[in-house]
Amino acid sequence: MASKRRLSAPVAPTPPSSSTALPSSESILVDSTCTPSSSNAVLDAKLLDRAEKLARMTMELKIRKVVMQANDLARGLEDLTRKTVHNESFRQQNEERMEKVWQDVLSVKAKFEQHLDARARDELHLGECQREVVEVKSSMGEVRKLVEELAGKVDQLPTLAEANAVLAGVCAQREACESAAAVCRERCESGVRAGCSHKPIQTRIQETIKSTRRWHHDHKSTALPDAVFTANYLKKQSKRDPRMAVYLQRAIHKRIRRRRRRESGPQPQSLEEFCQDVSWEDVTRTVEDVLVRRVDSTVQSLSQSSQ
């Protein structure tokens, strides 16, 4: 047993071989011809890599040495157990000690299995980390290219004065376009009004009747009050044919005054105020009266107003 226990003593680490020895002074002097910062960084990286490899190798040797000693101790215990199977006095004196040694052997083997599993996981994680490093380097290369492209375009950007000049030119051009559009729109509206005034009166009457029919069809499905709907109708007619719209508005006003001849009140000051007392039926009845039943009188009145 004494010889077996002597085997379990830790073994001093073996000195590193010549292949793993630290770099000599000659090699360091040769490397010093490079840039100081870069050469120091490369040297530090090499030293760290060699130190890590040496530490791993030393640890692996120690672990395997302990496992070999545990296996030798297990075989010695098995031989001792077989030889003392009939020696009751020896078994009684050393049973507990032998059991403890056996448990230590099993513990060492279990730790070794855990070490193997951990090393396998580390190797797997190392492979994943290496792949991630490759991906990160690739991404960094793409980012570097983009940054270089952007840096090359910085010189092409306009100065603040140039940018302000361009913005001023754009604003001036937009204002000119808006002014031209307003003038064109005004000319178109005046042209439409002039065109309606020069059309034959019968044609203007028929166009007003058709327009009123369309508005009457829309009135069936609208949610607007009659006052708002009538105001929109009269505004549209005044853009299309101003004189006809004024004639219709006067006729509607006469109809309302006849209906409310006993009531007196101030005159309306705006179209919206005028339409507050007007229903859509008043509009349709007025159009039917002045443009259908009494069309001759309407033609005569419009002819006189156009002269």
**121-130 pLDDT tens trace:** 877 877 788 8
- Length of the chain (residues): 307
pLDDT digits (tens, 9 = 90+) for 28-71: 434 444 456 667 777 788 888 888 888 888 888 888 888 888 88
Q: Buried b vs exposed e over 94-122: b needs ≥16 C-beta within 10 Å?
A: eeeebeebeeebeebeeeeeeeeeeeeee
Is the pLDDT score of 135 beyond 60?
yes
Query: For the chain, what is the mean pLDDT?
Result: 77
**pTM given for the model:** 0.37
SS3 115: helix
Is the pLDDT score of 118 beyond 70?
yes
Rounded CA separation 302/242 (Å): 11
Binned at pLDDT 50, 70 and 90, residue 190 comes out as low
pLDDT digits (tens, 9 = 90+) for 202-227: 989 999 999 999 999 999 999 999 99
Rounded CA separation 242/196 (Å): 8
Q: Can you give the pLDDT at residue 213?
A: 93
Mean pLDDT confidence for 142-152: 85
Rounded CA separation 205/10 (Å): 121
Rounded CA separation 182/176 (Å): 10
Binned at pLDDT 50, 70 and 90, residue 25 comes out as very low
Could you give the percent of the chain with pLDDT greater than 70? Answer: 79
Mean pLDDT confidence for 180-185: 71
Residue ranges per structural domain of the chain = 2-129, 158-197, 199-306
